[in-house]
Structure 1
């Protein structure tokens, strides 16, 4: 079997999503197709947990502007789903995602590294673009989304702490000198989220100058890709 076909989602799962439920359905489809040890599957499970939690918060009225949060979540998820579709069809996804797809079966990379590399790609590149996409969809500016952005960000930070706790090896397996200790401590979702908000505001200001906006996006993509390769340094 061709390596790309081996990781292809089940037939009928590709395509545009229109709501949070559709995003969850597609990610659950991935879960049923990829083996648990696959690095992309590890990130997918993390992202599915985040999206299911956000969906519950949308349902119970935790967000003041449900339309803005739902739109941002879908535009955000579309970037990840598009990267998967591109990779499994034999194309090149954005640079930020390439390390995760390249090392997805590396035996020396631990689950926590896969999770952090995926989060880094999604927050370090996709989130800023999703904010701009959402502004265009809703006819607003980034400042109008700031409150919802922060509330979603707080949820992500809380879940990141749980992810680290669940995926970090136990104290009997992980010593202070273990490279994973340094890799896990070198990256912060909160800092990445703040940088993404600044990038979104910059991209919005550059929307009237497409060449400059694309150059900025390309450099942001390359930077996130570089960090991703660092996070996936084999630890065993």
Structure 2
């Protein structure tokens, strides 16, 4: 069975800083139609990454180096999924629904955005914490302040994302199940679960088979939630 080191994404050339990640996200966004579901998430993620970069520059995060490393390792997970699909490979299970339904006429932009956030927070963030601990030689507890600040930034932006992408009142009267569906997912619960998952993975680092089994189950579970979030609303 795969070792835990095998699912730790290493820093790739060009992904060595938050600015490099922002540049890559901009290039990706320019190559997709605006209505593409992955493009919808990419725009949201670009805005979040730009805001986190701004906060790092302003000294909002407890430690600049660890915050930047966590942000880059976090982004690499999404970028690796994009690269896998572009190369004809299967991305992690958590990302498959977004790529499979990216052009579905019955899926709304907000659903795409939340499905991407679900995959990235529910699965990628926990692994990014482990990646960062390995890179910096620290324990997860040392990253808790940075983790919380990333979560606070996402929470602050979530309301704006919902307002920007939520269909108008007339559409919601027709597609009432959409409001019920989107109201069933919580960013706060997802980030709490991500921190718990990161601690479990770190605790299992000397038991690679169990660590990989846990990661696979986490990946599958987050993917299932993603499929539910992308239920066609019409």
TM range, smaller chain: over 0.9
Distance (whole Å) between structure 2 residues aligned to residue 182 and residue 72 of structure 1: 33
Point out the more displaced range, 31-40 or 164-173. Answer: 164-173
Alpha-carbon offset, residue 63 of structure 1: 1.5
**1:179 paired residue number:** 177
- What's the CA shift for 1:176? 8.6
Query: 1:218 aligns to what?
Result: 216
Partner of 2:53: 55
Alpha-carbon contact 2:41-2:117 (below 8 Å) kept = yes
The number of residue pairs the alignment matches comes to: 223
Deviating more after overlay: 151-160 vs 177-186: 177-186
Cα deviation 1:17-42 (Å, max 9, x = unaligned):
10000100000001110000000000
- Give the 4+ runs in structure 1 shifted more than 3 A: none
User: C-alpha distance in 1, partners of 2:14/2:131?
Assistant: 14
Q: 1:133-176: CA deviations, max 9, x gaps?
A: 00011110001111111111111111111101110112232129
CA distance in 2 between partners of 1:56 and 1:125 (Å): 25
Larger RCO, structures 1/2 (Cα 8 Å, 6+ apart): 2
Query: Secondary structure of 1:172's partner?
Result: helix
Tell me if structure 2 keeps the 8 A contact 1:16–1:78.
no
Q: 1:139 to 1:51 in 2, by over 3 A?
A: same
Structure 1: state its 5+ residue gaps.
Answer: 1-13
TM-score normalized by the length of structure 1: 0.92
Report the secondary structure of 2:84's partner residue: helix
Given candidates 91, 94, 109, the residue that maps to 1:93 is 91
- Which ranges of structure 2 fall in alignment gaps of 5 or more residues? 1-11
- Which has the larger displacement, 217-226 or 172-181? 172-181
1:71 to 63, 66, 69: 69
Partner of 1:147: 145
| Preserved CA contact (<8 Å) 1:72 1:134 | yes
Q: CA RMSD in A?
A: 1.2
2:196 aligned partner = 198
Verify the 8 A CA contact 2:37 2:101 in the aligned structure 1: yes
